[in-house]
Amino acid sequence: MNKPVLPLTYEQLDHWIESLQPALLDEQFVAAVGILRGGAPLALMASHAVGVPVAFLRYDRASRVVTWDSSLPMPAPGSKVLLCEDIAGRGFTLLDCIDFLERHGLIVRTLTGAFDELSRTRPDFGTDARGYFALFPWERQAYTDRYREDWTNHDAGQRAPMSNDHEYATYAIDLDGILLPDVPSTRYNEDLQAALNERDLLLPFESLPGIDLQRARAIITGRPEMDRERTQAWLDRHGFGKLELVMRTPGLHDHTPAGTATHKAAAVLRCGVTHFIESDPVQAILIAQKAPLLRVIWWDAAALSGTLVGASGWR
């Protein structure tokens, strides 16, 4: 995890497989076979791209046993199948699954979302992620400390099971507009000290976003570091003092929407959370662009509604 992260979104993977369509059609596959669970989304995308049925394999890492896990019968010997996995890694999953299919007389080509310098085998179709840690949308929880700890123990042979993916959900939240009302920017321009005093006296919203605050790790705000003491005092006074407070460093990020969003996106990734709740829709879009696997929710306090935000650059 010391490598730079290469986030791969559903949209990027879908576009990549669509770009492979002519080459995949030439292979005349009879089925796309996904290794559960990481290879399943790619197998589904490939099956739609080339019009073949989809089937699945189940692999037990501890015993290295492969089983056919599909309502479809295994194709006839001599048939060609596309075996799909999220990554060709340092383990034996892909090799063992290839061997299983070939022992049943099938011709196997492989497609993986990524391969890297540790891959035991190079796929026939794959994204070159050498030098990077490829992260898939179904692995966004890998950012969290708890997931990494559980995975390290599991990978070391300690048989404690991994939790369900949704149990690793961890939140960070914006401050102004989420826990308390925003003071209009014109007030700060008219009389900064009076606006700060007014803000200090505000009460929390009666209705907050419907999340379990026990799963919240941090408050990430665009307020500058110089406001830390009074901000922390407000949080302590209203029962939010246990959350980590991450503030903007003006020398690194300015107070513009782009600067504040850049600060928040970087802070969210450092904090290792899966969800971020933001009060400003423009900043929510910018954060989603900079952290594409993060679940960014724009919270409209007036309407008491949240909107899941996704954003890709358009050219």
Residues 275, 208 within the same domain: yes
CA–CA gap between residue 243 and residue 246 (Å, rounded): 9
CATH number at residue 20: 3.40.50.2020
Q: Which residues pair with 176 in a beta bridge?
A: 180
Residues 129, 202 within the same domain: no
150 within a domain of the structure (yes/no): no
Count: domains in the chain: 2
CA–CA gap between residue 136 and residue 85 (Å, rounded): 11
Residues 173, 298 within the same domain: yes
> Helices 281-290 and 257-271 sit at what angle, rounded to 10 degrees?
50
CA–CA gap between residue 149 and residue 24 (Å, rounded): 39
Residues 27, 126 within the same domain: yes
Report angle CA 158, 161, 167 to the nearest 5 degrees.
135
Please give the structure tokens belonging to residue 140. Answer: 């966004």
| Residue ranges of E strands in 170-253 | 171-173, 216-224, 244-248
Q: What is the pLDDT of residue 219?
A: 96
200 within a domain of the structure (yes/no): yes
Quick: pLDDT tens for 56-112.
999 998 899 999 999 999 999 999 999 999 999 888 999 999 999 999 999 999 999
Q: What is the pLDDT of residue 141?
A: 75
Quick: pLDDT tens for 110-136.
999 999 998 889 999 999 999 988 888
pLDDT for 222 beyond 90:
yes
- Least confident segment among 93-107, 211-225, 253-267: 211-225
Please give the structure tokens belonging to residue 54. Answer: 């989809």
**Is residue 144 a contact partner of residue 168, using CB atoms and an 8 Å limit?**
yes
147 within a domain of the structure (yes/no): no
Residues 131, 224 within the same domain: no
157 within a domain of the structure (yes/no): no
Q: Which residue has the higher pLDDT, 241 or 212?
A: 241
Residues 108, 53 within the same domain: yes
CB atoms within 10 A of CB 252: 11
Close Cβ partners of 313 (under 8 Å, ≥ 6 residues apart): 289
291 within a domain of the structure (yes/no): yes
Average pLDDT for residues 14-27, to the nearest whole number?
Answer: 95
Residues 189, 246 within the same domain: yes
- Return the DSSP state at 54: E
Average pLDDT for residues 263-286, to the nearest whole number?
Answer: 93
Q: In terms of residue numbers, what domain contains 106? A: 5-135
Residues 90, 201 within the same domain: no
314 within a domain of the structure (yes/no): no
**CA-based nearest residue to 57, from 76, 23, 31:** 31
**CA-based nearest residue to 136, from 35, 39, 8, 13:** 8
Residues 179, 274 within the same domain: yes
C-alpha of 304 from chain center? 25
164 within a domain of the structure (yes/no): no
CB atoms within 10 A of CB 5: 15
- Return the DSSP state at 32: E
**Is residue 84 a contact partner of residue 109, using CB atoms and an 8 Å limit?**
no
**Is residue 87 a contact partner of residue 113, using CB atoms and an 8 Å limit?**
yes
Mean pLDDT of the chain: 90
26 within a domain of the structure (yes/no): yes
CA–CA gap between residue 202 and residue 301 (Å, rounded): 15
CA–CA gap between residue 177 and residue 279 (Å, rounded): 5
CATH number at residue 294: 3.40.50
Residues 288, 180 within the same domain: yes
Q: Which residues pair with 267 in a beta bridge?
A: none
Residues 253, 188 within the same domain: yes
C-alpha of 61 from chain center? 24
Residues 128, 242 within the same domain: no
CA–CA gap between residue 270 and residue 58 (Å, rounded): 34
